[in-house]
Amino acid sequence: MLKQFCKENYRTAILLVLGSFALSLVFFPPYNGKLNLFLKFGSFTAALWVFLWLGNAHTSGWVSNRISWTEEPIKRFLVGMLVMVVYTVSAVSLLVWLFRMALNFDISGDLKGMLYGSLIVTLVISLFMHSRGFLQNWKQAAIDAERAKQESLRAQYVSLRSQVNPHFLFNSLNALTNLVYEDQGKAASFIKQLSEVYRYVLDTHSRELVPLSEELKFLNSYLYLQKIRFGEKLQVSFTLNDLNTQVPPLAMQMLLENAIKHNIISDESPLVIRVFKEGDAICITNSFQKRMVLSEETSGIGLANIRKRYEFFTSKEVVVEQTDNLFTVRLPMIRPEAS
């Protein structure tokens, strides 16, 4: 990290060195016996500016990686200022000691006043950098929030569209037609579950997160319709034990729908889907038996959209793993306070 930082800031370091010697030309021009003082003061000023400017920039970045401006702005500011003061005083003390021991260059008189002036300028610049970092992080947070909102709205629209597309309606109505003649009681249940699916899609179109219990209730209705269509060829199990967590609406349904769309489902090769808790994630696995030709048009958003929606609420990634016979997606749990 330090090597990369130095690589990115070497031009700034060169400008600081040139600026320090330019300043030395004004106060200690290299003639009339002042060449030695010019070189010493120029070297000291160059070291001081490089250490204070780039060092404070590096420590500011180090603090920002550990304390978020957007989540804990007051703590980030106070810790940042404390680290800056401690670093500045330590760096200056070390440089003064090194130059006195190595070059017999003692900071006194007018030189000390220039040193104090440099420190004041450094503090002002550091305060500016902290304020700039704060504003940049808040601006980025606003951009990320708007992007996540747009992704969420797009996902909800596409999910709604996929629920009412002709394939879904045709399959549902075809199954319902057969049930009306075979089992009127089951047909009534089918209609009720179908209405629950549509109600949930409409009710959650403006919500970014829903309790897991609501999503599971919706999934039961959705899977009821799919079980009527596929019977024992579709085997789904849930082991979540009343988790107190939230999920983006329809995210889990998208994964189940994709598994049904993209895999062979037959008596010889039933599709097995398991939903369970693993560590701090909800795992959705399905037997991987990919179709050569899809019978239904895919939505085109899939996992990429789910990843973007989760990025807004948690720093943990959506993990996707595929083996020869198993496809797994791990959704990080989102605690209620995230909303």
3-state class percentages of the chain: helix first, strand second, coil last, to nearest 5: 65, 10, 20
Question: Residue range 292-298: average pLDDT?
Answer: 51
Q: What's the mean pLDDT in 233-241? A: 90
CA gap 93, 89 in Å, rounded: 6
> What is the per-residue pLDDT across 91-112, written as a single tens digit (0 to 9) for each?
777 877 887 777 777 665 555 6
Percentage of residues in the chain having pLDDT higher than 70 = 71
The answer, yes or no, to whether residue 138 has pLDDT greater than 80, is no
Give yes or no for residue 163 having a pLDDT over 60. Answer: no
pLDDT at 34: 65
Read off the pTM: 0.52
Residue 26 tokens, joined: 């004004």
Confidence class for position 167, pLDDT limits 50, 70, 90: low
More confident residue, 265 or 305: 265
Q: What is the DSSP string of 180-196?
A: HHH-HHHHHHHHHHHHH
More confident residue, 58 or 273: 273
Calculate what percentage of the chain has a pLDDT beyond 90.
Answer: 13
Q: What is the mean pLDDT of residues 262-282?
A: 91
* Position 327 pLDDT exceeds 90: yes
The answer to whether the CB of 87 falls within 8 A of the CB of 55 is: yes
Amino acid at 274: R
Where in 175-252 does DSSP place strands (E)?
A: 210-211, 234-239, 246-247
pLDDT for the residue numbered 15:
77
- Going by the DSSP 8-state scheme, the letter that residue 263 receives in this structure is B
What average pLDDT does the segment 175-203 reach? 77
Classify burial at 178, counting beta carbons within 10 Å of its beta carbon; exposed 0-12, middle 13-18, buried 19 or more: middle
Residue 88 near residue 119, CB atoms below 8 Å:
yes
Q: Is 204 in contact with 156 (CB distance < 8 Å)? A: yes
Give the residue from 75, 24, 254 showing the smallest Cα distance to 155.
254
Task: Tell me: pLDDT of 306 over 90.
Answer: no
Predicted pLDDT of residue 311: 80
CA dihedral 74, 76, 78, 82 (to 10 degrees): 180
The amino acid that residue 14 corresponds to is: I
> What residues contact 186, with CB distance under 8 A and at least 6 apart?
179, 228
3-state secondary structure of 331: strand
